Structure 1
């Protein structure tokens, strides 16, 4: 049987991570199309809270990944085939968080400094500065693509654990699996097209599905009997 208290803690961390990331994202400059680099670089250069927004997003991702790792221990499935699937899920989650840290260093720090230098450069240097900023942007595409892949893989692995362990409703696992697929689609689009309009729906679906999953896990944890009560029964 899953550990009720640990399950509630994992679900809360998962929910808080999504919520913090969403709130931080609200303040992210997004008036200009993300793939229109001259326009969007000027917008980024004008932002005074750029680095803070990306720090908030990193805090949110840390909460989300902590929730996934906590879910592995809360489900009490450390042994056998299901246990190995869960362990691979933990490894994938840690890699996803590490890549997200690199992503925010590239996007939240390096890109900001590059666009600031481009915006303030004299006319003779602007072309070189713009090329430098674009190179960092393309590096961001690559890191974000692989981070979305590893995060999506984590969701799929933990979804499999939920379905096979059956400690909480299997439908939660199927929903989490759909979230994983949404992130895998994001990974492909970002890696091939950058931040194009085709990425809007997969991103939206991923956020909604993870949010609903975390709430559902929390609800299931509150309805689950305590271990002591289950033993007496």
Structure 2
């Protein structure tokens, strides 16, 4: 989330000509996307640690926890592909477009757009998997006495927000329609993350 503040976003993301020109002038583009991947890795590591704790408790869901953990790992794998496409391939494509002579610009732009559409595809399915993971984890948390049940409900809602993001991105790209599910996902994930950390801190003290 913190790294995202350094991501260039002045131009509308679906206005490819304006967005690509902005990306081409970003010196931090590759580093920002590497930072985003590191952040996602930390989040998934936290989910896997939570799975290990919950899996050792009686009354756990037989299937939701393991499937949630698998979905989380798959989501991280797709996120790595996403950052390679968006953070490396797209950057080089837009740089080549900006630097190309007039006779090559149309072809270079088409190449960059193809990479952008691949980014939509990967991000869409990453959002589906991450959302499914949150939903499954929410089901486990809501059925255990280890943590407050409302945390599970908030996790489930964050899962629905990410699934909605996956649908919008797959069908419309980075359109304004995605603003509400994106904001909801961020707020809800922050809410249950801080809540879980506070619960763990209290239990340890």
TM-score range, shorter chain: over 0.9
| C-alpha distance in structure 2 between counterparts of 1:70 and 1:137, whole Å | 34
Corresponding residue of 1:73: 52
1:56 is the counterpart of 2:31: no
Corresponding residue of 1:25: 4
| C-alpha distance in structure 2 between counterparts of 1:155 and 1:224, whole Å | 23
Question: Contact conserved, 2:60 with 2:144, CA < 8 A, in 1?
Answer: no
Aligned residues: 205
Q: 1:186 aligns with which of 165, 179, 192?
A: 165
Question: Contact conserved, 1:68 with 1:90, CA < 8 A, in 2?
Answer: yes
What do residues 113-138 of structure 1 show as CA deviations (whole Å, max 9, x unaligned)?
00000000000000000000000000
Following superposition, the deviation at residue 225 of structure 1 comes to: 6.9
Q: 2:152 aligns with which of 169, 173, 187?
A: 173
1:212 is the counterpart of 2:191: yes
Following superposition, the deviation at residue 80 of structure 1 comes to: 7.6
What do residues 6-49 of structure 1 show as CA deviations (whole Å, max 9, x unaligned)?
xxxxxxxxxxxxxxxx1110000000000000000000001011
| C-alpha distance in structure 1 between counterparts of 2:149 and 2:140, whole Å | 9
| C-alpha distance in structure 1 between counterparts of 2:145 and 2:62, whole Å | 13
Gaps of 5+ in 1: 1-21, 227-233
Question: Contact conserved, 2:55 with 2:65, CA < 8 A, in 1?
Answer: no
**RMSD between aligned residues:** 1.5
Q: 1:109 aligns with which of 88, 94, 97?
A: 88
Following superposition, the deviation at residue 81 of structure 1 comes to: 6.5
| C-alpha distance in structure 2 between counterparts of 1:132 and 1:76, whole Å | 46
1:93 is the counterpart of 2:72: yes
Following superposition, the deviation at residue 219 of structure 1 comes to: 1.8
Q: 2:110 aligns with which of 112, 116, 131?
A: 131
| C-alpha distance in structure 2 between counterparts of 1:186 and 1:130, whole Å | 26
Corresponding residue of 2:19: 40
- Give the alignment's TM-score, normalised by structure 2: 0.96
Gaps of 5+ in 2: none
1:151 is the counterpart of 2:101: no
Flag the structure with more relative contact order, 1 or 2, with Cα contacts below 8 A and sequence separation at least 6: 1
Following superposition, the deviation at residue 77 of structure 1 comes to: 4.1
Classify 1:208/1:143 alpha carbon distance in 2 versus 1 (closer, same or farther; 3 Å): same
Classify 1:80/1:162 alpha carbon distance in 2 versus 1 (closer, same or farther; 3 Å): closer
